[in-house]
Amino acid sequence: MARQRPAPALIGMPTDLGASRRGCSMGPEALRVAGIHKVLERLCGKIEDTGDIKGPRTTLGVISNGYRHFDAAVAWFQKLSVSVYETLADGQCPIVLGGDHSIAIGSIAGVSRYCRERQIPLTVLWLDAHADFNTPATSPSGNLHGMPVALLTDPDSDMLRRMGQDKMFVAVNDFQLIGIRSIDHVEKQAVLAAGLEVYDMRQIDELGMRAVMETVLEKAIVKGGHLHVSFDIDFLDPLIAPGTGTPVKGGPDYREAQLCMEMIYDTGLFGSLDIVEINPALDIRNQTAEIAVELTASLFGEQILARHSGSRSVD
């Protein structure tokens, strides 16, 4: 018998404290303007919009201990972590509307707590042009949106400890990074040393998105449990998604991204989502938010034709 899919719940996270360019704080509203509520309501029926989380304001601050805006980030991420955890505990699927990608520290900490307490295996699919594996010691800028994977997988993370979730770190082998094509030398060495599973654009070019996703998702299916998708809009090629502060040429096109989302849906394991790094100040008539909404629809079951063969269900 197929598992009943939980109803979506939107959680706005209007902050760009982790980025060097302002504007991602307007991302949640851009997604709402693009119709994310109506699209999900059509696909899923009941849907809740919990509004926006509120946290301390930030200004361009100095770097302290390798971080920029550390104390403010702890306050924001702790609130998000609790909200995501409670949403999952209520039987809903949290969709976090960002915000820059540092907010995944909060959302994934909440997912990790939920899964650990219930002994549910966790897989995190990190869809991004960047590995986000810098640390306070290696980051040249101190910007938190370049650090979330490193901080989330560090058992001694100051960030998780200050959030009261030091035991909620995520194992390195629970992460799978897809679409990577921008990584600095020091970060590359750290990724290799840590043994992160990375599927970069060369692999996608050589093998095709379908083959890469089959490999990625087969591991998740064997493990079972909960699948979290952390979707950075710069995963996409900037020709189709220009509204981001960290564009990198040579990303997946529209159909590759849509296939990726459809295949994730087919596993039946998907249970939570981040949508991050949409910067309306850099966009063209909200085009990037609209594409993000269309791809979210694919993640929730929108297909050209309904397919029964080849799709998977979870008993």
- 234 classed as catalytic: yes
Q: Which of 100, 277, 294, 302 is catalytic?
A: 277
Catalytic residue, from 100, 174, 187, 234: name it: 234
Q: Which of 145, 262, 266, 283 is catalytic?
A: 145
Full DSSP string of 62-122: PPBTTBSSHHHHHHHHHHHHHHHHHHHHTTEEEEEEESSGGGHHHHHHHHHHHHHHHT--E
Q: Which of 16, 52, 132, 290 is catalytic?
A: 132
**Distance of alpha carbon 117 from alpha carbon 158, whole angstroms:** 22
| CA-to-CA separations, 138 to 65, 153, 190, in angstroms, rounded | 11, 16, 10
Quickly count: other Cβ atoms within 10 Å of residue 45's Cβ.
Answer: 9
Cβ atoms within 10 Å, residue 299 = 22
Which listed residue (128, 154, 283, 290) is catalytic?
Answer: 128
The dihedral formed by the CA atoms of 82, 83, 85 and 86, expressed in degrees to the nearest 10: 110
Alpha-carbon distance of 117 to 106, in angstroms, equals 17
Q: Which amino acid makes up residue 217?
A: L
Q: How far apart are CA 258 and CA 255, in angstroms?
A: 5
Rounded-to-integer distance, Cα 68 and Cα 79, Å: 19
How far apart are alpha carbons 307 and 297 in whole angstroms? 16
Q: Clarify whether 237 is annotated catalytic.
A: no
Annotated active-site residue 52? The verdict is no
Is 90 a known active-site residue? no
Quick check: 51 and 38 in contact, CB under 8 A?
no
- Could you confirm whether 145 is annotated as catalytic? yes
Query: Would residue 132 show up in a list of annotated catalytic residues for this protein?
Result: yes
Q: Which residues belong to the active site?
A: 101, 128, 130, 132, 145, 232, 234, 277
